[in-house]
Amino acid sequence: MTKLHDLYQQQGQSPWLDNLRRDWIHDGTLQGWIDKGVRGVTSNPTIFQKAMTAGDAYDDQFRELVHGGKTVDESYWAMVDQDIRDALRLLRPVYDESGGTDGFVSLELGPAIARDTAASTAAARQFHQQIDQPNLMIKIPGTAEGIPAVRAMVAEGRNINITLIFGLPRYAEVMEAYIGGLEDFDGHPSSVQGVASFFISRVDTEVDRRLDAIGTEEALALRGKAAVAQGKLAYKLFRETFSGPRWEALVAQGAKVQRPLWASTSTKNPAYPKTLYVDTLIGPDTVNTMPEQTLEDFEAIGTVARTIDQDVDEAERVFQQLAAVGVDMDDVARVLEEEGVASFAKAFEELSSNLAEKAAALK
């Protein structure tokens, strides 16, 4: 037994792995993580950019695709498709044993359509139909344009991971899209699973930058507190939203909550504890997706204890203090959302350029 097993069995939080690489699928590394207690996998354009440009794991398939007349873009998605299918197969036992609660693999839409509702809806539907596995989750960015796509996909009974959430107002919209989608669904709600990926560490990075610029004693005393505080307030909002007559009517039909998923939980500031964004956000009906180093750090020095709903009053005070010193958390969320979309787009462009060079050499 590992701490990752304890995290789920004792506290009801599912640890997922925030990485996917073909060599890990083939050499047993991914299965090893599953054996250690990992209950799901998340991927994004940056993860695939790193995987496909390191080593030669994709070269044989890419060569075959290019020689077969596929474009660089078509080749990329074909390679992604293969990795996702293989990971889904490895995690299917977790899906079956959990009754469909875990065992998911998340595939993110192309970043170019992050602000296109119709294109996001069509692409999410296409991937679900193309791969057609019950433990597939499609990641739709939680942009203003992504929200209607989320509701539309949930209304079709599809599993959706809403990603790039950085603020409480947008999180409220994401939960409403899920509940509204379930109400629109002409089927059995028990077949639908969803998670809402709330990014954590990047919030401290941006807020700390603003606090340093303000420079007062009061401001500097708040460094490293915003992200965890916001996570705790998000969980409070989650509990409030998934309760009451409206939600209970869906529960009576078998509906399951849209779990908060803590993403970006590796520590960016070396001055902060390595497991800061894991230890402080543990609680039932949640997911924490971690890169392999953070999983290893948690196993080595992490603490398994319910913390997500502890010191919530202090979290509210932190938000009040941030506002008092001049940090606008709504603007922080806006900036981080723009940066998040741009970061994935940049990774996708760099990978496309790299693959284009490889394709030219092969031809």
Residue 338 CB coordination number (10 Å): 13
Token pair belonging to 189: 């709600």
DSSP state of 22: H
Query: Of 162, 97, 106, 109, nearest to 136 (Cα)?
Result: 106
Q: Which residue has the tokens 């139909």?
A: 129
Active-site residue among 139, 225, 256, 274? 139
Contact predicate 76/112, CB 8 Å: no
Q: CB-hemisphere CA count at 13 Å for 9?
A: 9
Q: Which residues pair with 286 in a beta bridge?
A: 13
Q: Which residues pair with 17 in a beta bridge?
A: 41, 290
φ, ψ at 97 (rounded to 5°)? -65, -30
Token pair belonging to 42: 């998340």
Q: Verify whether residue 70 is a known catalytic residue.
A: no
- Spell out the alpha helix ranges (H) of 1-116: 3-11, 22-27, 29-36, 45-53, 59-67, 72-97
Q: Cα–Cα distance between 345 and 80 in angstroms, integer?
A: 16
DSSP state of 286: E
Query: Of 36, 127, 163, 28, nearest to 86 (Cα)?
Result: 28
Question: CB burial class (10 A; 0-12, 13-18, 19+) of residue 299?
Answer: middle
DSSP state of 66: H
The residues annotated as belonging to the active site are 139
